[in-house]
Structure 1
Amino acid sequence: MLIIIGALIVLGSTLGGFMIAGGNPVVLLHVSEFVVILGVGIGVVVIASPAHIIKEIVHKTKHAMFGKAADKKEYFDLLKMLYEIFMVGRRNGLIALEEHVTNPKGSSIFAKYPNITGNHERMQFLLNGMKPVIDGKIKPDQLEDLMLTELDAKSAEADHPVHTLQMVADSMPAIGIVAAVLGIINTMSAIAEGPEAVGEKVAAALTGTLLGIFVSYGFIAPLAARIHTMNQGDTQYLRCILSAVAGFAKGLAPLTAVEVARRSLDSTVQPSSDELETTLKSMPAPGK
């Protein structure tokens, strides 16, 4: 929602300042300029991106507009869930975790946290990290590198739409110049129509330059930055899981492994140490 508010502020400030200076917003409405600039911008995206990235741009834009990053409560629930999982493994042996990891939909632990288990990517990252621990196929010290490799791949993939949008934002001022040049060409062919017609066409050409710069720095570049910030939030969530699972695999006590994960979080979403410890210690033993 904030991104919509920001866009309205950008648009309102620009048009408001123009009107205060005596301008008429109607003179900025030249459909031909919009067709050239926005059409070429969309074409650039199509040329530069495979189909799956175009779909991701649409998905990420919707998420940036209407979605939200994980908040403090969601991280608190994540840490509680991880603690329960680790306690089962500590008390009953790692083999006891197999039923939860191989069948997460039937897990009594995961069923308590639908807001977490509903995210497929996050759950898969957790399950992919826990399976080698249970199977014993790799050494505990190797698990962190394995999960870090997966995290880096996911982070790079998530930023593909950001790079495309940033490329379009960088191109928009030049596309605006193209629209302006086309407008000037059109103007030169209308000199015989008199000063009034020429002035109108020059204004339309200048609107093209304005629109290219305005769309670039007022909308597309900020959108790319917003998507990147939300991607960093998703990466932080996965890194929290990584820290906890890797710590548990290395032999840390459940409470300590969860504390390591807590310390990996930004202060804005990080539960306090005392609050978390008190909550975890007051939780009933898993299975009871």
Structure 2
Amino acid sequence: MLIIIGFLVVIASVVGGYLGAHGKLAVLWQPYEVVIIGGAALGAFLVGTPMKVVKDTLKATLGVFKGPQYKRQDYLDVLSLIYELLNKARREGFMALEDHVERPAESPIFANYPKVQADHHLVDFITDCLRLMIGSNIEPHELEPLLELELDKHHAEALAPSQVLTKVADGLPGFGIVAAVLGIVVTMGSIGGDIVEVGGHVAAALVGTFLGILLGYGFVGPLAAALEARADQDSRVFEAVKTALLACLRGYNPKIALEFARKTLPTEVRPAFADFEQHLKTVK
């Protein structure tokens, strides 16, 4: 919602200021300038972007308007899931988690948290970590760099859409200049004719520069920044899971391990200590 409000503020400020200076709105309607700028930007985007990133960018752009993937209750569910798994491992041994790790879609523990279960990236991360803890005598200092490597890879993939949109935003003013230059070419070809027609061509050329700059700095650039912020927010849950599992591997009991994880969460989604403690009493 905040993104839509921001875009509306940009439009209202630019158009309102223009109209306040007695500008004519119809002059800004230059569809061929839009075709040149938008088409060139889209083509450059497709040339320089792998197909997977193209699809991820479309998905992320639609998703950013919905807000962060994980809300406060979702973080609580993730922590509760990890607590259930670690508590079962503490009581029955890590081998008791083998069926849950190998078949999370059929696990009654994962089934208690359907949104978490539906996020295959997060489920894969959790089960891969637990698989290492079950099937080997790996030490915390050996597991930590492996988890960091996995998180870096996941974060890099999540940031790819924002990075390619940033490049598009950087290129839009240049494409605006291309449209303006082509408009001047048209203008030069009409010199000697009706002065009103010549003036219209000059105005159209200037609108090309205006649109390129406005789209780059007023829309695509901020959208890329929003995608980057969304990727950073969505990565926090992976950091919390990593912290809890490493704390468990270092010998802390599940409640203390989850307290380590709780501390990694941003304040706006972090459950209060007393509330979290009370919630864990309801978890098996």
Q: CA deviation at 1:65?
A: 2.1
Letter in 2 for 1:79: L
Per-residue Cα deviation, 1:194-247 (whole angstroms, up to 9, x for no partner): 321111000000000000000001111011000000100121111111111111
Contact 1:244-1:261 within 8 A present in 2 as well: yes
- For the residue of structure 2 that corresponds to 1:23, the secondary structure is coil
Contact 1:133-1:140 within 8 A present in 2 as well: no
Output aligned runs, 1:145-164, within 5 Å.
145-164=145-164
Cross-structure match for 2:282: 283
Cross-structure match for 2:125: 125
Q: Distance in 2 between matches of 1:49 and 1:86?
A: 41
Q: Distance in 2 between matches of 1:47 and 1:106?
A: 42
Q: CA deviation at 1:32?
A: 1.2
1:105 aligns with 2:110: no
Q: CA deviation at 1:138?
A: 2.6
- For the residue of structure 2 that corresponds to 1:196, the secondary structure is helix
Cross-structure match for 1:216: 216
Contact 2:184-2:202 within 8 A present in 1 as well: yes
Contact 1:141-1:250 within 8 A present in 2 as well: no
Q: CA deviation at 1:173?
A: 0.9
1:269 aligns with 2:269: yes
1:139 aligns with 2:139: yes
Cross-structure match for 1:29: 29
For structure 1, the 5+ residue unaligned runs are none
Cross-structure match for 2:4: 4
Contact 2:169-2:221 within 8 A present in 1 as well: yes
Cross-structure match for 1:171: 171
- For the residue of structure 2 that corresponds to 1:193, the secondary structure is coil
Q: CA deviation at 1:137?
A: 5.3
Per-residue Cα deviation, 1:61-80 (whole angstroms, up to 9, x for no partner): 11112353312111111111
Output aligned runs, 1:218-257, within 5 Å.
218-257=218-257
Identity within the alignment, %: 38
> When the two structures are superposed, what TM-score results if normalisation uses the length of structure 2?
0.96
Contact 1:100-1:107 within 8 A present in 2 as well: yes
Q: Distance in 2 between matches of 1:23 and 1:235?
A: 46
For structure 2, the 5+ residue unaligned runs are none
Letter in 2 for 1:252: Y
Q: CA deviation at 1:29?
A: 0.6
- For the residue of structure 1 that corresponds to 2:224, the secondary structure is helix
Q: Distance in 2 between matches of 1:40 and 1:137?
A: 55
Q: CA deviation at 1:19?
A: 1.5
Q: Distance in 2 between matches of 1:275 and 1:153?
A: 34
> When the two structures are superposed, what TM-score results if normalisation uses the length of structure 1?
0.95
Q: Distance in 2 between matches of 1:283 and 1:141?
A: 33
- Number of aligned positions between the proteins: 284
Per-residue Cα deviation, 1:49-106 (whole angstroms, up to 9, x for no partner): 1111111111111111235331211111111111111110001111111121111122
Cross-structure match for 2:91: 91
Contact 2:176-2:213 within 8 A present in 1 as well: yes
1:197 aligns with 2:197: yes
Letter in 1 for 2:107: S
- For the residue of structure 1 that corresponds to 2:108, the secondary structure is coil
Q: Distance in 2 between matches of 1:128 and 1:51?
A: 27
Q: Distance in 1 between matches of 2:260 and 2:66?
A: 32
